[in-house]
A and B are shown apart, each in its own frame.
Chain A
Amino acid sequence: MRTPSGHEVYAMGAEYPSPAALYEAAKMVRDAGFKRWDVFSPFPIHGMDEAMGLGKSWLSAVVLAGGISGLLTAVLVEFGPSWGLYPLIVHGKPYDWRTVPAFFPIMFEMTVLFSAFAAFFAVLIMNGLPRPHHPIFNWERFKRVTNDGFFLVIEARDPRFTELEARELLERSGGQHITVVHED
């Protein structure tokens, strides 16, 4: 979609006077069936996940997978040499499975390390980071989002997005300074 002046449209945004107003607006946009939209505020708002209709994040599944692969890696690199490849008697301890107490710390550390890596990179990927610039910054008013501004933005790539419908919805939900944000 383009504006009459030829700019590519990124989204339509509106500003709300309070977190409560933003919370109510999010419920309206959720019920209107939009999918590609987001809210922005200077601080987290309790219950916003539900108001936006967000499901459970799949981050925990990624972290679990990372943790399990870390644990398996540790098991492999510890038991492999000690039990099969190069058995070595240390401190008079057995080298079969009964030596497992000595291996637990490494298993634990590897599980934590791999989980942390999985969490870190999954968060980057899920949020599309790193990203030096974002079209939403073309909107002058949006700079207040880190100070005292509460914003709701519906993206133009949402299949249900039409300029009329989005504007009507944002007006009805009490949005102010409704603005079309350019892509570039």
Chain B
Amino acid sequence: MSDRLQNAAPEGEFFETDRFAGLSVLLGVVAFVALALCGAGAAIDPTQFSFSWLFAFGFFFTLCAGCFFWTIVHYATDADWTVVVRRQLENIAVLVAVLAIFFIPILLLRHHLYEWMNVAPGKEATLDSKRAYLNLNFFILRAAFFLGFFIIASQLLRRFSVRQDKDGNPQFTIRLRKVAFASLPLFALCLTFGAFDWLMSLNYRWFSTMFGVYIFAGAAGSSMALLVLVITALQRAGYLKNVVTREHYHIMGKWMFAFCVFWAYIGFGQYMLIWYANMPEETQYYLTRNTESWWSLSMLLVIGRFFGPFAILLLQSIKKHPRQLCYVAAWILLMQMLDIYLVVLPALHGTGVHVSLWDFAALIAIGATLAFAYLRIVGKTSLFPVRDPRLVESLKLVN
């Protein structure tokens, strides 16, 4: 234990951006090409493209929001194990600023996505009763609030944490705790209503009060999986060797396991209540997703997002083994992608799966841009908070 303390560099470890300049350029080029392709897609097939873009946006937004969630939970619960991995959570969470730019295409293509924007008032009674909430001005105002909150709060979390790297002033931890406490309810509201606005209102006739929690459950679990992959990639590159140990992997694995179960719990709760009550305006959502070729993808989601990872992550040895845990983490990310796909795309292709080129283009465009932005900021600070008052406890972690 004491060896580990001495080995941890007192000034922190720094990611050498120059070493990965090639990767950065590659990602930049890929992002540029894919974004250009997306521009073409928006012109050629705006309807299909807008749904593909929303799918990619939703996938990456849940990942960033999930990392934001883990950071505020760290401060709110005064956790110590997260300290050594927290900087990467902060780095991923601030990427939400890039995502805010990618929200603009959704606003521009809104008439292709959200049918409720095209129905004139007085035409449909069910919609008219929701007009107080579902109207364009309020929609834009809310989106600005949600994204603004995520940007400001994630910037605050990272900025104070980085400033603490210099002098180790515990005052920053206390200030961050206040930020976290204020953020917890706001995060819950923003993610819930963000999910309602951007994903659930694709079909304005359908509603589920559990939908926000459902999106949250997927976000928290998959962002933990992303963290495992990012930390392992950094360790592969030779960083954090004496900082992140098997014990940290064990805890990250436990959280992945916990959120597999939580996702299943919420997902099943939502499904069963609708299935049992059997009311047409509620069942339509699942009817689309459980018929035709969507059925096999829904089954894959149930088995792949819950039963598979559940059985595998029960084993302690897997959670303590970084390489094996990475396979599970990558799989969970893939399943999160499928989950968002199954939320968004059936709203367009009600008659069956229709994979489009633009699905991949949008995914690669947003993903490569975010990875590029991540590489730009990861080298700016130490890879772990070097002067955090709880760093020693985190380094000595045993569980």
Contacts and interface: CB of A to CB of B under 8 A. Distances in A.
A115 B398 CA distance: 26
17 contacts: A46-B398, A47-B398, A56-B316, A91-B276, A91-B278, A92-B278, A93-B278, A101-B268, A101-B271, A101-B272, A101-B275, A101-B276, A102-B272, A102-B276, A104-B268, A104-B272, A105-B272
Contacts of B316: 56
Contacts of B268: 101, 104
Given A56-B316, A104-B272, A105-B272, 14 more contacts: A46-B398, A47-B398, A91-B276, A91-B278, A92-B278, A93-B278, A101-B268, A101-B271, A101-B272, A101-B275, A101-B276, A102-B272, A102-B276, A104-B268
B42 to A, nearest CB: 40
A32 to B, nearest CB: 24
Interface in A79-112: 91-93, 101-102, 104-105
Contacts of B278: 91-93
A47 B399 CA distance: 9
Contacts of A104: 268, 272
B340 to A, nearest CB: 23
A91 B272 CA distance: 14
Contacts of B272: 101-102, 104-105
B394 to A, nearest CB: 14
A105 B275 CA distance: 14
Contacts of B275: 101
Interface string B270-294: 0110011010000000000000000
Contacts of A46: 398
> Could you say which interface size class chain A belongs to?
10 to 19
The secondary structure that dominates the A interface is: loop
Interface in B346-399: 398
A104 B268 CA distance: 9
B167 to A, nearest CB: 30
A104 B316 CA distance: 26
| Shortest beta-carbon contacts, A-B, top 7 | A46-B398, A101-B272, A101-B275, A47-B398, A104-B268, A102-B276, A101-B271
Contacts of A92: 278
Contacts of B276: 91, 101-102
A53 to B, nearest CB: 16
A173 B268 CA distance: 57
A92 B278 CA distance: 10
B247 to A, nearest CB: 10
A166 to B, nearest CB: 30
Contacts of A47: 398
B50 to A, nearest CB: 33
Contacts of B271: 101
A99 B271 CA distance: 13
A116 to B, nearest CB: 16
Nearest to B269: A105
B382 to A, nearest CB: 27
A46 B268 CA distance: 38
Contacts of A101: 268, 271-272, 275-276
B260 to A, nearest CB: 14
A103 B130 CA distance: 35
Interface string B309-340: 00000001000000000000000000000000
A91 to B, nearest CB: 7
Contacts of A102: 272, 276
B311 to A, nearest CB: 11
Contacts of A91: 276, 278
Interface string B238-277: 0000000000000000000000000000001001100110
Interface string A116-133: 000000000000000000
A92 B275 CA distance: 11
A46 B398 CA distance: 7
B208 to A, nearest CB: 16
Interface in A39-54: 46-47
A109 B146 CA distance: 38
Interface string A21-53: 000000000000000000000000011000000
A45 B278 CA distance: 54
Nearest to A46: B398
